[in-house]
Amino acid sequence: MENTRPKYLDLFSIRLPLPGWVSILHRVSGFGLFLFLPWLLWLLDNSLHSRSSFGYFQGVAAQPLVKLVLLGLIWAYLHHLFAGLRYIAMDLHWGVELRATRATSKAVLGVSLLLTLLIGVRLW
């Protein structure tokens, strides 16, 4: 019997379905939130010392690059939240059929991007 399995996986030639992309983005967003958590806590801590420190960090947050990073973190938080709720529902055997997993994947992406857009309009 000949073994026809590939010796390596070419990740760029594999076509992932939408639930696969949601899963990967869930992991990436969790990792990004984990990496930026110390910076966010430091920012919050130092902004609460006095009115002048709050004004200073408000000025820092007004920079376009900082706004872009914050917008990315907002998306990461929202995507991680909604995808996590989706996975909890799937652990409870809700929506595990193929049609439901595709629909909830679309919902996770749509809601996280829509809310990020709405918050981004308010932020910018």
| Cβ 105 vs Cβ 48: under 8 Å | no
| Cβ 123 vs Cβ 58: under 8 Å | no
**pLDDT tens readout for residues 57-69:** 999 999 999 999 9
The pLDDT of residue 86 is 98
Which residue segment(s) compose the domain that 99 sits in? Answer: 26-123
Confirm whether 11 is domain-assigned. Answer: no
Confirm whether 17 is domain-assigned. Answer: no
The gap between the terminal CA atoms of the chain, to the nearest Å, is 62
Here the CATH number for the domain that contains residue 94 is 1.20.1300.10
Confirm whether 1 is domain-assigned. Answer: no
The total number of structural domains that make up the chain: 1
Question: What's the pLDDT band for 6 if we cut at 50, 70, 90?
Answer: low
Confirm whether 7 is domain-assigned. Answer: no
**pLDDT tens readout for residues 90-122:** 999 999 999 999 999 999 999 999 999 999 999
